[in-house]
Structure 1
Amino acid sequence: MTTTTTPGQTLVLYHAWASSASRKVRMCLHEKGLAFDAKIVDLNKFEHHADWYKKLNPSGIVPALMVNGHPLVESNFINEFLDETYPTPPLRPTDPMLLHDMRLWGKYIDDTCLPAIQKHNWMHHFHPMAREWSDAEL
């Protein structure tokens, strides 16, 4: 796969490997063959709530994509930006009805599927760790 970026364009992805939203953006970047610098945000250390990350994304949610020093947030919006900025190969349909259907599926995944995954991740990963924390740490 060849990698391309707009001349002078710098892409830095702040992401977490276990994050489904981060995975969506990584897939888009790779499908488009875009060169980017990847920075891991350690969710186990709650780096997404650290001051340095909250400057990128005040909501503390991964991923965030820095484009020439400007932070972009929300995975669906990041992917739309990438598809509009780097149109080849196109990742969205041009037909308005198909685009509607694509967005409907994206909403279903975000509103239904991802919350189920997040609940599972909390119960099997973070909840056991949280039992060991003091009230101050919680």
Structure 2
Amino acid sequence: MTLCADPSAIDVSNGLERMLHDDSTAGETFELYGPKNYSTAEIAELVDREIIKHRRHLNVPKSLLKPAAYYINKLLWWHAMSADEVEREFIDQTVDPDAKTFKDLGMEPAELSNLTFHYLKGYRSSSFYDLPPATEQERMEEK
């Protein structure tokens, strides 16, 4: 599954502000996505690397996961996963070639991998909490 890169909420809010003040954007369709496409597995790998914890990821077919989600929600009193969430997990995002983007607003969105430390630091174990983010050289060595 391929996802369009999630832009930063700040990038989206700045883009919306520019649309609000620019009358030429009225009636136009915008798709505000980041500069790189990520798969779900790549995003999971980014998260694991940033929180310094290897989590197990299982690829379960939709035909098995959808009924399992239904029964899990019947057995547990807290929300685990719904059939609708499973359905949405398997949808590939496609970009409309006619839609306008950040470039049409004169903006360059931030790269997702540069934002992960800020958003995910709180999910680190207490023993790794104060470690600084990985440098570019360390990221290249991991690849």
> TM-score band (shorter)?
under 0.3
Q: Larger C-alpha radius of gyration, 1 or 2?
A: 2
Report which structure shows greater RCO (CA 8 Å, sep ≥6): 2
Greater strand share, structure number: 1
Name the TM-score, length of structure 2 as normaliser.
Answer: 0.27
